[in-house]
Structure 1
Amino acid sequence: MPPAVRFGVNYTPSEGWFHHWLDFDLDSVRADLDSIAALGLDHVRVFPLWPYFQPNRTLIRPRAVEQLVALADAAAERGLDVNVDGLQGHLSSFDFLPAWTRTWHRRNLFTDPDALDGQENLLRTLAAALADRPNFIGMTLGNEVNQFSAGPHPDPDRATPGEIDTWLARMLAACEEGAPGRLHLHAEYDATWYQDDQPFTPGQAARQGAVTAVHSWVFNGTAQRYGRTSVPGEHHAAYLVELSKAWADDPHRPVWLQEVGAPAPLVPPEHAAAFTEATVANALDCPGLWGITWWCSHDVSRSLADFPELEYGLGLLTNDRKPKDTAMVLERAARGPSYTPASRTTALVVPADPAVRSRCAPGGPVFEAFFRLVADGARPTTVLDTRAADREHLSARGITETVTVDQVLEGGTRP
């Protein structure tokens, strides 16, 4: 019997947002965690801001680490497990990089020896501080760090896929050294699956770390092109879960839907609950799903300036900790009976070459073919073209039929 799907939330403090680390108030954190636990969720993903924790390459602030541990302990008191993102990195349109990596001290985050030493040190230190906490799930290397490695970032730290391989292996090893045996992983935004020149590749996402993480946002062109109530709009998260499986070497590798949300105005507030319900239900129909971690816990306060408009209202709870309709949807799912979906027996063949992964992006032929299958009532998964004739691989995944993009697009209904 597979383990039950985990339900959690990306913790956005209601007071001070992630700047709360500068004025850490444990009572406020406890009140936030109370409002999260009341929804029946079982974990939070936590974000220590990198410049606040490691303002100098050789200084990791002990007080900041103590506060992180205090937050984890407060979560444990409320029955919440904790995953910690180490290198923050990037959050809600803002970059948080320490001064020792920028301008006069410009260092490439992925290749500079001193930068690598500093990052490794921070990840090892944070993991070690939490290693003896039973509610510590493990480390995520950082939040969507791939956005620093290529365009459209205005000042990217360019690296090759080989250099990213080395970076990932070294950083994951530091987490394992700090907290052996925990669930350590890395997580990128969907350019990994959709952008041809992105050096973080699908193969890395699906093979390095303990689980594959996917972040699903329909503002990537899905909602704009197809609409919020379309088949692609309501199944985008499930698509990324199933797309990721094509690159996994382990046919039973778990996938974590680590970020997903209902972004306005593409998903208006009055339709957010329906969108959430459809997204969650469709994701739960994916075999091997480790968990769903909604973005985010609490709204961003309107007293804070310069956020993109959509960021202010993404919370399951208001800024004064009142649950919204979306919170009720997630609560019902979290408290509901566990569900074990059947295998997905039809696999759409996708190109293994990462240089053409844009074929999988919204508007691309793989994307179109997948959702034509869904619209016709199928429950497709994906398989690489290099494995489409591998009977052992197909059998291990429960796949009994493979179809090509051309076969699908020759007929059928549009998404």
Structure 2
Amino acid sequence: MQPPAPAPARTLRFGANYTPSRGWFHHWLDFDADEVAADLDSIAALGLDHVRVFPLWPVFQPNRALIRPRAVEQLVALVDAAAERGLDVNVDGLQGHLSSFDFLPSWTATWHRRNIFRDPEVVAGQEEYLHALAAALAGRPNFLGMTVGNEVNQFSGPPHPDPDPVSPGEAGRWLERMLAACERGAPGRLHLHAEYDAVWFRDGHPFTPAQAARLGAATAVHSWVFNGTAQRHGRTGAATEQHAAYLIELSKAWAADPHRPVWLQEVGAPAPLIPPEHAAAFTAATLAAALDCPDLWGVTWWCSHDVSRDLADFPEPEYGLGLLANDRRPKPAAAEVARVAAAWRGRAHRPPARTTALVLDGGGGPAAPGRAACAPGGAFFEAWAVLAADGVRPAAVLAEAAADPAHLSARGITEVLRVRDVVRRPRSDT
């Protein structure tokens, strides 16, 4: 057998999800180029190299047959302003869902209520919209590519109060069609899709781990420890500080490419589970653990600027998640992100392989029926956390791949453990 190909050395990317300091994402309604420039200056001053930006779908496409030229021009102006400051840009198309608010155009709601994943006219409108944004930016060298939308899987089932039901097969075909529209608009860019963690944790959820880990140019993971992790393990528990690393490694269990890039596209320090005075320490620990994962594309912190207290009805944790305050002053967590970004600037990222893998039983198959075991409190999650606390650097492997020498070799895995093995494993502190 040939030795495994080494993981490619990548230059890590460090960025922020751009939340405007004035007006939040409602800034598209009265776009102010000077305010945007000042925001981007404050992001660039941290030494970051990219931003992820969020056009609001109803603002950009208020009618199925109308993609507003002026809105697209403003998006292009934002991308150009970012280029002037050395920042690359990823654009999320279908917004979709942001910070507990849904933004759907009126032609999908109430009297025009149609399933956003199934209705042929709605899907054709989405396809045209994503193509239009990608095509408008295709000539910009600092345009990284499109993300289909922000956590659009949350519309597909519980706990959404008015879901758009879809089957796994339909969800996969929808994703393929949206990604193809992005590729036609801007060939060869980094086009991907992104889901919230139900894709990894919820049995029966129609968006599947295999879709997340195989469709598009990279796998996106969004890491939020308010999902039960910090509640169970505390702010300094290994499961909490390594939650982002856990999702990165969990995603690789379903990847067909052993070195598929994984983008930690959202991660933040949510109060009160991570109190503000401990946000910098949590940030440092989270980044250290994530950067210990092979095949990491980069980290994009959520978010750039705090949500203004002048805006109403946000969940309390959303107001303080920024690296920068509303007056654009950096907060302590920003210093940690800037420090790590500076330390890695120009360096090749090739951490050693994670040679020990934990086996996920029931994770394979089209529906991934064993996903609940991967959620906080689940047997797989908790066993992974035990290994991480013991310094093992665990990877994850599906049961059907655990007996495949070629698969294990390609990933550098030399030891395979099952959950029951972890229960019996001697602890490092005994």
State the secondary structure of the residue aligned to 1:355.
Answer: coil
Instruction: Determine if contact 1:88/1:97 at 8 Å carries over to the other structure.
Output: yes
CA displacement at 1:412 relative to structure 2: 4.1
Specify the alignment match of 1:208 in structure 2.
215
Report how far residue 414 of structure 1 moved. Answer: 11
Does 1:343 find its partner at 2:344? Answer: no
Matching of residues 49-64 of structure 1 within 5 Å? 49-64=56-71
Evaluate the alpha carbon distance shift between residue 414 and residue 197 of structure 1 in structure 2; reply closer, same or farther with a 3 A threshold: farther
Deviation at 1:217, TM superposition (A): 0.1
**SS in structure 2 opposite 1:311?**
helix
Pairing of 1:237-316 with structure 2 (within 5 A):
237-316=244-323
How far does residue 377 in structure 1 lie from its aligned partner after superposition?
Answer: 1.7
Identify which of 412, 421, 429 aligns with 1:398: 412
> Which of 140, 149, 158 pairs up with 2:156?
149
Q: Could you report, residue by residue, the CA deviation over 1:314-364 in whole angstroms, capped at 9, with x for unpaired residues?
A: 000000100000000000000003343111000111132412200000000
The within-5 A match list for 1:78-93 is 78-93=85-100
Does 2:186 align with 1:172? Answer: no
**1:384 aligned partner:** 398
- Cα RMSD, aligned residues only: 1.1
| 1:374 pairs with 2:388 | yes
Contact 1:368 1:414 in 2 (8 A): no
Q: Give the C-alpha shift of residue 4 in structure 1.
A: 1.3
**1:120 counterpart residue number:** 127
SS of equivalent to 2:400: coil
Find the aligned partners of 2:316 and 2:379 in 1 and give their Cα distance: 32
What SS class does the counterpart of residue 186 from structure 1 fall into? strand
Contact persistence 2:10–2:350 (CA under 8 A): no
In structure 2, how many angstroms separate the alpha carbons of the residues matched to 1:179 and 1:409? 49
Q: SS in structure 2 opposite 1:386?
A: helix
Quote the Cα distance in structure 2 between the aligned partners of 1:138 and 1:182: 5
Deviations 1:166-217 (A, max 9, x none): 1001000000000000000000000000000210000000000000000000
- Give, in whole Å, the separation in 2 of the partners of 1:374 and 1:268: 23
Q: State the distance in 2 between where 1:412 and 1:189 align.
A: 35
Match of 2:373 in 1: 359
Provide the C-alpha distance between the structure 1 equivalents of 2:35 and 2:389, rounded to a whole number of angstroms.
46
Structure 1 pair 73/402, CA: closer, same or farther in 2 (3 Å)? Answer: same
Structure 2, unaligned runs of 5 or more:
1-7
Once residues 386 and 322 of structure 2 are traced to their aligned partners in structure 1, the CA distance between those partners, rounded to angstroms, is 32
Measured in 1, the distance between the counterparts of 2:281 and 2:389 equals 19
TM-score, normalised via structure 2 length: 0.95
- CA shift digits 1:293-329 (9 cap, x unpaired): 0000000000000000100000000001000000000
1:129 to 119, 136, 158: 136
Q: Distance in 2 between matches of 1:414 and 1:189?
A: 34
The separation in 2 between residues aligned to 1:257 and 1:190, in whole angstroms, is 12
For residues 230 and 310 of structure 1, the distance between their equivalents in structure 2, rounded to whole angstroms, comes to 20
State the Cα distance separating 1:413 from its structure 2 match.
Answer: 4.7
2:390–2:428 Cα contact (<8 Å) kept: no
1:197 aligned residue (177, 191, 204): 204
Looking at structure 2, the residues matched to 358 and 163 of structure 1 have their Cα atoms a distance apart, in angstroms, of: 22
Partners of 2:359 and 2:370 in 1: CA distance: 13
How far does the alpha carbon of each residue in 1:72-109 deviate from its partner, in whole angstroms, 9 at most, with x for none?
A: 00000000000000000000000000000011101101
What letter is aligned with 1:62? Answer: P
Provide the residue aligned with 1:97 in structure 2: 104
Q: Aligned to 1:336, what secondary structure does the other structure show?
A: helix
Range with bigger deviation, 32-41 or 331-340: 331-340
Letter in 2 for 1:28: E
The aligned amino acid for 1:4 is T
Amino acid at match of 2:272: P
The structural deviation recorded for 1:407 is: 1.1
Q: Whole-Å Cα distance in 2 between the matches of residues 313 and 271 of structure 1?
A: 13
Q: CA deviation at 1:410?
A: 2.7
Identity of aligned residues (%): 73
8 A Cα contact 1:376 1:412, kept in partner: no
Q: Distance in 2 between matches of 1:169 and 1:376?
A: 40
Supply the AA of the counterpart residue of 2:90: N
* Distance in 1 between residues matched to 2:302 and 2:291, nearest whole Å: 17
* One-letter identity of the residue aligned with 2:131: R
**Alpha-carbon distance between aligned partners in 2 of 1:211 and 1:409, rounded to the nearest angstrom:** 34
Letter in 2 for 1:369: A
Amino acid of the structure 1 residue aligned with 2:392: A
For 2:83, which of 76, 83, 94 is the aligned residue? Answer: 76
Which of the residues 322, 328, 331 maps onto 2:335? 328
| Unmatched tracts of structure 1, length 5 or more | none
Counterpart CA distance in 1 for 2:389 and 2:114 is 48
User: Following TM superposition, by how much is the alpha carbon of 1:411 offset from its aligned partner in structure 2, in angstroms?
Assistant: 3.8
Q: 1:222 aligned to 225, 229, 240, which one?
A: 229
